[in-house]
Amino acid sequence: MQPNEASPQQPPIEPDEFLLRRFPNETGLFDFVLGNATYSAFLPNRNDQDGLSLNRETRGSSDGFLTPEEHLAKAGTENFRNTGGVAAIPVSDVISAGMTVVIDDDPDSPGHVLIPELNRADYDAKSPSGEKPGKQRIKLLADELARKATIRIPPKPK
């Protein structure tokens, strides 16, 4: 799937849409003073081999996408579902930071998209000298997302 290309399940992505990213309520993933998700929440996890996983936020019931509450309800563990948070990022900010958003149809996750530049395979890849240039690049992009993100659902304090 190419950036901004429609799919059988999804219309093309518009720059004024928001993308949702959920994060668990663990130490340091949310700044309770500033009210922001930290950049650790935007680093690719083991399930993000092809890119950072997000969902398009619904702009009305007709699009079939998820509300932040529905997005959080699809988290993998009960604790995550009950106490985790959801951040939102404008597509326009993702694009202006040099990243792309690609539709990744998943019948269990309406409006599922990937940011391929933030993939775990590059994050883990080592050069022959042992350095991780992909990881540095991804950390910088995650920093950009964290600076632009707003919070839809704050995690519950422990």
Partner 1 sequence: MMYEFREIGVLDTPSRERLDDHSLSVWLQVLTYIADLQKLEDDWDGEGASRVSDEMLISTFRLAMALMETGNLPPQIVSPFPDGNTNLEWHHSDGTIERIEVDGLNRGELMVTYPDRKRSAKFSPLAWSTRAIWERRDVGMGVAFVKTVALDLICPNIPSGEGLGVASGWDNFQMAV
Binding segment toward partner 1, per CB under 8 A, in 9-17, 37-45, 103-111, 149-157:
37-45
Q: What phi, psi does 144 have (nearest 5°)?
A: -60, -45
Based on the shown chain and the rule CB under 8 A, indicate whether residue 3 belongs to the binding site for partner 1. Answer: no
The region that residue 46 occupies, defined by phi over 0 for left and psi between -120 and 50 for alpha, beta otherwise, is alpha
Based on the shown chain and the rule CB under 8 A, indicate whether residue 136 belongs to the binding site for partner 1. Answer: yes
Query: Mask of contacts with partner 1, 111-130, x by CB under 8 A?
Result: ---------x--xx------
The DSSP result for 5-47, as a single string, is: ---SS-PPPPTT-EEEEEE---TTSEETTTTEE-GGGGS--TT
Q: What phi, psi does 33 have (nearest 5°)?
A: -80, -50
Check: CB of residue 89 under 8 Å from CB of residue 81.
no
CA 57 – CA 39 distance, rounded (Å): 20
- Minimum distance of partner 1 from residue 77's CB (angstroms): 4
Based on the shown chain and the rule CB under 8 A, indicate whether residue 38 belongs to the binding site for partner 1. Answer: yes
- Minimum distance of partner 1 from residue 120's CB (angstroms): 8
Subset of residues 44 to 103 that bind partner 1, contact rule: CB under 8 A: 44-48, 75-77, 80
Angle at the Cα of 101 (from 99 to 106), degrees rounded to 5? 145
Based on the shown chain and the rule CB under 8 A, indicate whether residue 139 belongs to the binding site for partner 1. Answer: yes
Nearer to partner 1, 7 or 24 (CB): 24
Based on the shown chain and the rule CB under 8 A, indicate whether residue 26 belongs to the binding site for partner 1. Answer: yes
User: Which residues of the chain form contacts with partner 1 (CB under 8 A)?
Assistant: 23-24, 26-29, 31, 33-34, 38-40, 43-48, 75-77, 80, 120, 123-124, 136, 139-140, 143, 147
